[in-house]
Amino acid sequence: MNKLLTYKDIAAILGCSPKHVYNLRIDGGMPPTTPLPGSDKAVRWKESDIDLWITLDCDMLRYMDAVE
Protein backbone atom coordinates (compact mmCIF):
# COMPACT_ATOMS: atom_id res chain seq x y z
CA MET A 1 0.00 0.00 0.00
CA ASN A 2 1.17 3.50 -0.84
CA LYS A 3 1.62 5.62 2.29
CA LEU A 4 -0.02 9.06 2.24
CA LEU A 5 2.17 11.96 3.37
CA THR A 6 1.18 15.21 5.07
CA TYR A 7 2.68 18.68 4.71
CA LYS A 8 4.70 17.98 7.87
CA ASP A 9 5.96 14.65 6.53
CA ILE A 10 7.20 16.26 3.31
CA ALA A 11 8.70 19.22 5.16
CA ALA A 12 10.70 16.79 7.30
CA ILE A 13 11.91 14.93 4.20
CA LEU A 14 12.92 18.16 2.42
CA GLY A 15 14.28 19.92 5.50
CA CYS A 16 11.98 22.92 5.17
CA SER A 17 8.85 24.27 6.83
CA PRO A 18 5.31 22.99 6.18
CA LYS A 19 4.50 26.53 4.98
CA HIS A 20 7.16 26.19 2.27
CA VAL A 21 5.58 22.90 1.15
CA TYR A 22 2.18 24.63 1.10
CA ASN A 23 3.60 27.45 -1.04
CA LEU A 24 5.17 24.95 -3.45
CA ARG A 25 1.78 23.27 -3.81
CA ILE A 26 -0.06 26.54 -4.40
CA ASP A 27 2.55 27.58 -7.00
CA GLY A 28 2.14 24.26 -8.87
CA GLY A 29 5.56 22.96 -7.89
CA MET A 30 4.38 19.73 -6.25
CA PRO A 31 2.96 16.46 -7.58
CA PRO A 32 -0.84 16.14 -7.53
CA THR A 33 -2.50 15.64 -4.17
CA THR A 34 -4.97 13.00 -3.06
CA PRO A 35 -8.05 14.45 -1.36
CA LEU A 36 -9.14 12.87 1.89
CA PRO A 37 -12.70 11.54 1.95
CA GLY A 38 -15.07 13.70 3.97
CA SER A 39 -12.91 16.83 3.76
CA ASP A 40 -12.98 19.68 1.28
CA LYS A 41 -9.51 20.96 2.20
CA ALA A 42 -7.37 18.15 3.64
CA VAL A 43 -4.96 16.63 1.12
CA ARG A 44 -2.13 14.12 1.16
CA TRP A 45 0.53 13.04 -1.30
CA LYS A 46 1.31 9.49 -2.33
CA GLU A 47 4.74 8.58 -1.02
CA SER A 48 5.68 7.09 -4.40
CA ASP A 49 4.86 10.40 -6.15
CA ILE A 50 7.00 12.36 -3.69
CA ASP A 51 9.86 9.84 -4.00
CA LEU A 52 9.80 10.17 -7.80
CA TRP A 53 9.57 13.97 -7.62
CA ILE A 54 12.61 14.12 -5.30
CA THR A 55 14.52 11.67 -7.51
CA LEU A 56 13.91 14.08 -10.40
CA ASP A 57 15.39 16.98 -8.39
CA CYS A 58 11.92 18.32 -7.46
CA ASP A 59 11.39 19.32 -11.11
CA MET A 60 7.69 19.27 -12.08
CA LEU A 61 8.35 19.20 -15.83
CA ARG A 62 10.53 16.11 -15.47
CA TYR A 63 7.99 14.60 -13.06
CA MET A 64 5.11 15.10 -15.52
CA ASP A 65 7.16 13.52 -18.32
CA ALA A 66 7.96 10.53 -16.11
CA VAL A 67 4.36 9.80 -15.11
CA GLU A 68 2.91 10.08 -18.62
Q: What is the pLDDT of residue 21?
A: 95
Total number of domains in the chain: 1
Give the rounded percent of residues in the chain with a pLDDT score beyond 70: 99
Q: What is the pLDDT of residue 64?
A: 87
**Domain extent at residue 31:** 4-67
What is the C-alpha to C-alpha distance for residues 34 and 19, in angstroms, rounded to an integer? 18
Residues in the chain: 68
Neighbours of 5 (CB within 10 A): 21
pLDDT tens for each residue of 11-68:
999 999 999 999 999 999 999 999 888 888 899 999 999 999 999 988 888 888 998 8
pLDDT tens for each residue of 22-36:
999 999 999 999 988
